[in-house]
Amino acid sequence: MVVIGDALIDEIRDDAGVRELVGGAALNVAVGLRRLGVETTLIAMVGDDEPGAHIREYLADHGVQLIASPAPLGSSRAIVERAANGEPQYVFNEAAQRRSIRYSDEARRAIAEAGLVAISCFPFDVPDEVDALVDALGDARVAVDPNPRTGMLSDRAEFVRGFERLAADAAIAKVGADDAAILYDGDLDALRARLRELGTAAVLATAGSDGATIDVEAGVASAPISELPGPIIDTVGAGDATLAAVSAGLVQGSPVALGEWRALLQRAMDIAAATCRAEGGLLRTPESLTDAGRGVHGS
Calculate the alpha carbon distances from 139 to 97, 171, 197 in Å: 29, 11, 21
Number of domains composing the chain? 1
User: Is 160's pLDDT higher than 80?
Assistant: yes
Q: What is the pLDDT of residues 206-254, one digit of tens each?
A: 998 899 999 999 999 999 999 998 898 888 889 999 999 999 999 998 8
Full strand arrangement of the beta sheet holding 88-92 = 17-23, 8-14, 76-82, 88-92
Alpha helices in the chain (DSSP H): 25-35, 50-61, 94-97, 105-113, 127-137, 156-167, 177-183, 188-198, 238-252, 258-275
Q: What is the pLDDT of residues 132-159, one digit of tens each?
A: 999 999 999 999 999 999 889 999 999 9
Q: Could you give the 3-state DSSP secondary structure of residue 13?
A: strand
User: Is 296's pLDDT higher than 70?
Assistant: no
Mean pLDDT in the chain? 93
Within a domain: 47: yes
Within a domain: 298: no
Within a domain: 198: yes
For residues 84 and 249, which has the higher predicted lDDT (pLDDT)?
A: 249
**pLDDT for the residue numbered 288:** 85
Within a domain: 297: no
**pLDDT for the residue numbered 187:** 93
CA gap 284, 52 in Å, rounded:
24
DSSP state of 210: G
Band of the pLDDT at 293, cuts 50, 70, 90? low
Which residues on neighbouring strands pair with residue 172, listed in sequence order? 143
CA gap 217, 162 in Å, rounded:
24
* CATH number of the domain that residue 244 is part of: 3.40.1190.20
For residues 163 and 279, which has the higher predicted lDDT (pLDDT)?
A: 163
Q: Could you give the 3-state DSSP secondary structure of residue 30?
A: helix
Within a domain: 13: yes
Within a domain: 299: no
**pLDDT for the residue numbered 84:** 67
* Structural domain that includes position 41: 2-292
Angle at 21 between CA 17 and CA 26, to 5 degrees: 145
Within a domain: 127: yes
How do strand 212-216 and strand 203-206 relate by DSSP bridges?
antiparallel
**pLDDT for the residue numbered 82:** 73
Band of the pLDDT at 299, cuts 50, 70, 90? very low
pTM above threshold 0.75 = yes
Within a domain: 111: yes
By CB atoms closer than 10 A (0-12, 13-18, 19+), residue 37 is exposed
DSSP notation for 108-163: HHHHHH-S-EEEES--TT-HHHHHHHHHHHTT--EEEE----TTT-S-HHHHHHHH
